[in-house]
Homo-oligomer: A and B are copies of this chain.
């Protein structure tokens, strides 16, 4: 199982410290998805979508830790109950807003990943598939103040 970059995500976030934790905390942050030219036929019809999933590689995350203290908590949590980047397979998913497409460049909003992040996949966001109510949200239900940016705890040193 090998993966390949299909493009690069360009964002204003040069280092983990100060980067928004999620697109919801990065409202309006502009950037571009540069798709490598050979994949351009695959984005036909994408411009009809208001939102898209970016699937990407946390290329600057430290090695996997199965227990972490997430940014939004002060207690140690199981990694898979968090969205921390230091995962056995450091794959991130972010739902961003699509602005416009010019050739192989997709202009998007609400970017929460580091500049230069390798892109693995794009999928259309379809609310019937992806948007669900969930009353039980584990430890997120106890989050009080929202610390909206990261620090360098999960970054390679």
B-side contacts of A43, CB under 8 Å:
78, 80-81
Q: What CA separation (Å) do A89 and B39 show in the bound complex?
A: 12
The answer, yes or no, to whether A148 is at the interface (CB within 8 Å) is no
Q: What CA separation (Å) do A80 and B124 show in the bound complex?
A: 7
The answer, yes or no, to whether A145 is at the interface (CB within 8 Å) is no
Q: Are A44 and B3 in contact (CB under 8 A)?
A: no
Q: Are A125 and B132 in contact (CB under 8 A)?
A: yes
Query: From residue 37 to 73 of chain A, which have CB atoms closer than 8 A to chain B?
Result: 39, 41-51, 53, 55, 57, 59, 66-67
The answer, yes or no, to whether A23 is at the interface (CB within 8 Å) is yes
Q: Are A55 and B136 in contact (CB under 8 A)?
A: no
Q: Are B129 and A130 in contact (CB under 8 A)?
A: no
Q: Are A45 and B139 in contact (CB under 8 A)?
A: yes
B-side contacts of A133, CB under 8 Å:
127, 131
The verdict on A88 contacting B121 (CB below 8 Å), with A45-B78, A78-B41 known, is: yes
Q: What CA separation (Å) do A39 and B43 show in the bound complex?
A: 36
The answer, yes or no, to whether A16 is at the interface (CB within 8 Å) is no
The listed residue (B6, B93, B122, B131) touching A132 by CB distance below 8 A is: B131
Q: What CA separation (Å) do A53 and B41 show in the bound complex?
A: 28
Q: Are A50 and B137 in contact (CB under 8 A)?
A: yes
Top 8 closest A-B pairs, CB basis? A48-B138, A44-B78, A45-B81, A50-B136, A131-B131, A42-B66, A42-B79, A80-B122
